[in-house]
Chains A and B, each alone.
Chain A
Amino acid sequence: MSETNQSQPKRRFDIWRTKGDASSGGEGAFERYETEVGEGMVVLDCVHRIQAEQANDLAVRWNCKAGKCGSCSAEINGMPRLLCMTRMDSFSPDEIISIEPMRTFPTVRDLVADVRWNYQVKEKIRPFEPIAPQAADGTHRMMHEDVERIQEFRKCIECFLCQDVCHVLRDHQKFDEFDGPRFFQFTAGLEMHPLDAADRIPDLKHRAGIGYCNITKCCTNVCPENIRITDNAIIPMKERVADRFYDPLMRLLRFVFQRPSANR
C-alpha cells in the first residue's frame, strides 16, 4: 500500500524510563527518542515502534488498542490520556511529545503504573443488592429512560485517568479517606439503579470522603468516554448526602412522612 512506501517524517519523544529494577521505586528520567510517524498513527503506535526499534525493554501496558479496555493510561504532555486514543496529528510537527506513567500511582516500570489501590477501593463499596422481581412472570422491569442515566456511568472502562488527575489524590494524597471520581461514579451507578435496595449514602460521606471533592471537574475533562462524572454522578451524590446529613428541612420532612430512604 502506498502509505508504507513513502518516507515518513520523524518525530521526537521524551519517554519516562525508570532506573534499575522494580524495587528502585520508580525513579527515573526522561529519555529522548526519535521515530518515524505514519498517517493515522496514535501515540501508542509510536511507543511500540520505539520499543521494537530502539528500546526492546520499554515497558508499556496496553491491550485492546481501541479505547475500550482502559489499559494504556499515561500522561502525554502532562495530561492524563489514553495512549491508544491520542492521535499524532493532534500535535504540531515539531513538538516534542513527553510520555510518562500516571503520576498519582506508584510507578512499576517505565510507563506502567501500579493501579491496584483502585481495585482495593472498589471492594469496599457495598455491592448491588437487587429488589425482588416485580413483574408477574418473575422478571424485573426498568424503564429505559430511567436506566439511561446509569448506563452513562457503566460506559466507564476503568482507565483510572480520572483518579490520576484528581488533585485530592494527586496532590493531597488522601488515599485512605477518599475513593476518587471513578468510585463516586461507580457508587452513583449503584445508588441510582432502579432495582438496587442497598444504601451507600452514609458510606459516601464518611468512608469515601465525597466532601473532599471540590468539583473542579478535572475528572470530567480527562474522561476518554466523555462521562460527565462531576455533573451527573458526583454532584447528585453530594446532593443525596446533603439530603441525609446537612439539610434540617429534609430531615424534618423525612421524620414527619417516614419516607423510606432506599430505593425511590
Chain B
Amino acid sequence: MSVYDLFQIYEHDVLVIGAGGAGLRAAIEASNRGARVGVVCKSLLGKAHTVMAEGGMAAAMGTVDDRDNWEVHFADTMRGGQYVNNPVMAELHAKESPERVRELEAWGAVFDRTRDGRILQRNFGGHRYPRLAHVGDRTGLELIRTLQDHGVHCGMQVYMEMTVVSLLKSGERVVGAVGYDRERGRFHLWKAGAVVLATGGVGKSYRITSNSWEGTGDGHSLAYHAGAELRDMEFVQFHPTGMVWPPSVRGILVTEGVRGEGGILLNSEGRRFMFDDIPENYRQQVAATPEEGWRYVCGDRDALRPPELLTRDHVARCINREIKAGRGSPHGGVYLDIAWIRENMANAPGHIRKKLPSMYHQFKELAGVDITAERMEVGPTTHYMMGGVAVDGETQSSTVPGLYAAGEVAAGLHGANRLGGNSLSDLLVFGKRAGEYAAAFATEHGHKEPDAAQLEDIVRDIERPFARASGENAFSLHHELQDVMQDRVGIVRTQGEMEEAVAKIAELKQRYADVAVAGHREFNSGWHTALDLHCMLTVSEAIALSALARQESRGAHFREDCPEKTAEGATYNLVVRKGDDGAMQIRREPVLEMREALREIIERNR
C-alpha cells in the first residue's frame, strides 16, 4: 500500500491556509488571476478570528480630516513600530490601503458614513488624524463577511474545519500541504503550485488572550519547519483592554474604540493615571488637560489626543503598573469608563449604544454591566503577534520558494508595535499582494510532486499521540506552557525569568514526545490540542529566545532589567530559523535600509 492511499488528494494552483481577512483576500486575488484556488480553514467559513476585530481599518483617505495622506500614515506606522519595521511594507501599506477599503465597498461592505455620504473615519491610538474606516465596533465582521460573500463567487474551493499539520516540499520548494479534518480525523493532501500562509496569531500560547482556540501559531510553525525564517518574534502585543471578569471571559477584547469615543482609564483611587506618564516621543502629541482630550474626541482639529490613545504597548504597561502597585480593581484590572461622557453630552447612553453596540452587548450579556452607566473592569490581554514569517515587502514571499505569508503570520509591517487599525488594512493590502504573486509563481513554475519520504514521517508524527496507552496529557502541557509564557515572557520581562522560560519550554518539548491521547480521531479535542501544541511550543521557543536576545526595551518588548531603548536596537531585526541539526538558531539582521525620500517624510512628520 502506498502512503498516498492514506490521503484524500486535491490539486490546486494556489493553496491558501487560513480563511480570515488575509487568506480570503489572497484567495480572491489569486482566483481573479486565473488560478485554481483552495482555501483550508480550521473553523467554518466566516468564523475566523478576524470577526473579533472591532475598531476599524486604517487608511489615509482624509474623509474626516483632509490633512491626512499616505505620508502621515507611513510616518505614524514607523513611529509606532519604533523604526524596526520593513519600510517597504509600511510604504505600500500606507499607499494602497485607501484603494483596498474602497474596493471592499465596491464588493458590498457598508461603512459608517460622514454627513456628506463618504466613508467615516475615527480616531485611534497612534494615528495622528481620524483614519479608521469602521462599521460601529464590528468592522472585522464586516470585512470577513464581505470577502466571504464576494469570494464564494470567485470559484475558490473551501475546505472547512480542516487543520494543516505540515507543508510538503520538493527539494527547496514548497509544493503542498497535508492536514486532517476535525469531523472524521481523516488525512488530506493538497498539491499546490504555491502556498499562502494566512493563519493569524499565536495568542493561545498565553494564559490570558483575546485569541480564539485557533490562534495557535500554525503558520509560524509550518513555515519554520519548512525552513523559512521568522523575524521579530520578541514583539508580542498585549492589548491594554481585555475583559477581566467573569473568569470565563477573561482576555476577551474590549475595543480601543471605547477610548476613541472618549473612554478614560481610572485606577481604584479614581485617578486618571494615564496623564502621569507620557513618553518623550509622544509628548508633542498629547493633550495637556482632560478638557482638551475631550475636545479631540469631539473632532476639534486643534486639540491633541488624550493619553488613553497612546500606543498599546505604553497603555498596557501603565495599566500593568497600576495593578502591580495595588491600585487595581477588585478582579485585578483597572476601570475603563465611557459612562462619564454623560457630563458632556445630552444623549450619552444612546450615543454609546450607537457607537459601541457590540461592546454594550458584550458587557451586558457576559458581565452584567451596563457600560452606559457603569465602569468596565479591564486589563491587558495577549492580542497580536507583530513577528512572523520573514517576507519580501512587495511579493510577500518567504525565504522558501513557493511559500507566501500575509496578515498576522507575516512580519515586517508593524515593527515593534502595531497601531490599532493597521492590521485590518494589512490583511487587505498584503493579502492581495500575496495572492497576486503566489498565482504568478504557480503559473510560472507549475506543479511538482512532493518528496514521498516526508509523508511517512508526517503520518507517524500525527498518529504518535495514539501510539501509547498512557503518557503526558496534552491539556496539562498546554496549561503549563501558557503559564510560563504569561508569567515569564509577558508584558514586563527580565533576563532571569526568560532563561527559566527557555528551560521550561525545553522540558515541555521533551515531555511532548510522550503525549498520549485516548479514543478515536473523530472530533477528538485532546488529539487536536496535542497537534496544536507542537506549533505553540515552536512559537513559544522563538518568542523566548528572541526576547532574550534583544537586550533593550522597544515597543511591545519591555525589559525591566534594561528599560531604555538603545540606538543599536533600532539597527537590527532578530531572525530565527531551524538549523541543520534541528535546533533553533537566532541571528541579527540589519534593518532594511530606507529610501532617502522616506527618511525625509519621517523627519517632516516627527
Contact = CB atoms under 8 A, between A and B. Distances in A.
A57 interface: yes
Nearest to A111: B523
Interface string A169-181: 0000000000000
A110 B365 contact: no
A237 interface: no
A63 B47 contact: yes
Contacts of B152: 119, 122-123
A3 B245 CA distance: 11
A45 B366 CA distance: 12
Interface string B110-139: 101111111010000000000000011010
A66 B252 contact: yes
A146 to B, nearest CB: 8
The dominant DSSP class at the B interface is: loop
A236 interface: no
Contact of A66 (B105, B249, B331): B249
B361 interface: yes
Contact of B106 (A52, A70, A130): A130
A143 interface: yes
Interface in A148-179: 150-151, 154-158
A216 interface: no
A191 B368 CA distance: 37
B49 A64 contact: yes
B361 A67 contact: yes
A51 B523 CA distance: 12
A2 to B, nearest CB: 9
B331 A1 contact: yes
Given A59-B523, A150-B110, A68 B102 contact: no
Interface residues of B, number: 64
B519 interface: yes
B106 A85 contact: no
Contact of A56 (B108, B110, B525): B525
With most chain B CB atoms within 10 A of its CB, the pick from A69, A123, A142, A156 is A69
A120 to B, nearest CB: 10
Nearest to B106: A130
Contacts, number: 168
With most chain B CB atoms within 10 A of its CB, the pick from A68, A87, A128 is A68
Interface stretch (A33-41, A200-208, A251-259): A33-41
B332 interface: yes
Contacts of B115: 144
Contact of B108 (A108, A158, A196): A196
Interface stretch (B38-46, B418-426, B589-597): B38-46
A250 interface: no
Interface in B219-249: 245-249
Contacts of B366: 40, 42, 66-67, 85, 87
A71 interface: yes
A109 B526 contact: no
A21 interface: yes
19 contacts: A41-B246, A45-B248, A57-B524, A57-B526, A59-B525, A63-B212, A67-B365, A71-B43, A87-B366, A87-B368, A112-B183, A115-B44, A119-B152, A144-B115, A144-B120, A150-B110, A151-B136, A158-B145, A195-B105
Q: Which 8 A/B pairs are nearest by Cβ-Cβ distance?
A: A40-B246, A59-B523, A128-B108, A141-B117, A144-B113, A69-B47, A45-B248, A57-B519
Given A139-B118, A141-B118, 18 more contacts: A41-B246, A45-B248, A56-B519, A56-B524, A57-B523, A59-B523, A63-B214, A64-B49, A65-B248, A66-B366, A69-B212, A71-B47, A85-B366, A109-B183, A127-B149, A141-B117, A142-B117, A196-B108
